[in-house]
Structure formats: structure tokens, C-alpha cells
Amino acid sequence: MAYDEYLADRIRLQLNEKHIHFDELKMMGGLLFKVDNKMLCHIHINKNYGDSLIMARIGEAVYQNEIEKPDCLPMDFSRKPMKGYIYITPDGFDTENDLSYWIDLCLDFNPLANAAKSKKKQSSQNKTE
């Protein structure tokens, strides 16, 4: 297992308590949580960091303030930091209030985020072009 199941349970509990319908998908070596078919957050054990991280999709509007926090790292999955996404280290989601803060930021951005195009739609679009 490439993610912390206890952390996954904590996120599930937070989303259920907020009455949020969500989906889960195992990908990128961890577990992705989706709301309205859009990435909310992703958890995995980062080999370079050596512990669990949450990849949070918070949007660019709050990114600059949040990235300055000591428990946040740039999301550089592709070696180039992506604005609007951050990694949160375990100290940043140690308490349920801390975790709730990050989940709320992700949920606040979610309605503004674009859903990823499905591969089925993309391949059918490519066939018609």
C-alpha cells in the first residue's frame, strides 16, 4: 500500500461529516479523492520526503498565502511547481481541525476547478477530427 490507510479514513470521515459525495481512485501510487468528478486531494507516501503527504488542489487565489506556511511544500510532481496545488506535510494535518482546514480549502476551490477530460471523450474527439 503506497498510502496511509488511517489518513484515508480520516479524510473519508471529514467528507462524510460535511455531507460531501465523493469518489476514490487509486492512482499515482496513492489514493485520489474526487468531488464532482474533479480532483479534491490525493494522498501518498512520498519516497523523497519519507512520509505521507497530502496533495491539495486549492487554486491559485489562496496558493501564495498557503505555500508560505511551514507545513506546505510546492507540488512539484513533474519537477516544476504547479500553482494551485500544494503538498501538506504530516505536521500540517496532525489534528482533525488542521485536516478540516485543508479539506475546506479544497472544497472551496472545487466548484471553480475544471474537470479532467475523460479518455473516452478525448479518444472520440480525436476520431472525429
Question: How far is residue 38's CA from residue 85's CA, in Å, rounded to a whole number?
Answer: 13
129 found inside a domain: no
Residues in the chain: 129
18 found inside a domain: yes
Question: How far is residue 25's CA from residue 31's CA, in Å, rounded to a whole number?
Answer: 6
Q: For the residues 78-107, what does the mean pLDDT come to? A: 93
CB 99 within 8 A of CB 33: no
More confident residue, 55 or 115: 55
125 found inside a domain: no
Q: For the residues 77-97, what does the mean pLDDT come to? A: 90
Side-by-side strand order, sheet with 51-57: 23-27, 30-35, 38-46, 51-57, 85-88, 72-74
pTM equals 0.85
126 found inside a domain: no
CATH of the domain at 91: 3.90.1150.30
How many separate domains does the chain show?
Answer: 1
User: How does the average pLDDT of the chain come out, rounded?
Assistant: 88
